Amino acid sequence: MKTTRFGTIVAFVVLFALAAWAADNMLDIPVKDALASPKASNKLDVPFYMAGQSHGKVVKKMGEYTSNKRTNAFGKSSQEACHIAFLSAVIALQERAQKEGGNAVIDVYSNTKNQELKSATDYRCAAGTFVANVVLKGTVAELAK
């Protein structure tokens, strides 16, 4: 009986420690750092503008879309994993713009884990031991040429 109780307590402590170890850290990271990373080369072919950034005159808005991207963070720095997730989310928004006939994605902002960040310079990432997650929302638009 004592062995079973002791085993239960040990299992509880181990599970609690693992849950704490795997907890997400919310990070606000400069967009320019992600764009300067090696993973960004030649993949960003539709202009995107973070919330608050100036852009050309809007001819038509095609709707707001959400991109929720995760990446394996194991063995990577939080910054590196977050950059990969951010770039994947931007690429998904750009693909949506092309599908909808837009030539830009404007007013892009983070809404990771329902924690909104509207910034012209930063995005928000939930970085854990095993997974990094970035959720972006942006408006697909046609800008004047």
CATH of the domain at 32: 3.30.110.70
Q: What is the pLDDT of residue 100?
A: 97
Q: What is the pLDDT of residue 18?
A: 47
Q: Would 55 be classed as within a structural domain?
A: yes
Q: Would 88 be classed as within a structural domain?
A: yes
Q: How far is Cα 79 from Cα 145, in angstroms, rounded to an integer?
A: 35
Q: What is the pLDDT of residue 15?
A: 47
**Alpha helices (H) along 2-77:** 2-21, 31-36
Q: Would 15 be classed as within a structural domain?
A: no
Q: What is the pLDDT of residue 137?
A: 98
Q: Would 6 be classed as within a structural domain?
A: no
Q: Would 4 be classed as within a structural domain?
A: no
Q: Would 87 be classed as within a structural domain?
A: yes
Residue 24: which of 132, 124, 115 has the closest Cα? 132
With a cut of 70, which residues of the chain have pLDDT below it?
1-4, 6-23, 41
Pairing assessment for the beta strands 58-72 and 48-50 based on DSSP bridges: unpaired
For the chain, what is the domain count? 1
Q: Would 128 be classed as within a structural domain?
A: yes
Q: What is the pLDDT of residue 39?
A: 80
Query: 66 is in which domain, residue-wise?
Result: 24-143
Q: What is the pLDDT of residue 40?
A: 80
Q: Would 85 be classed as within a structural domain?
A: yes
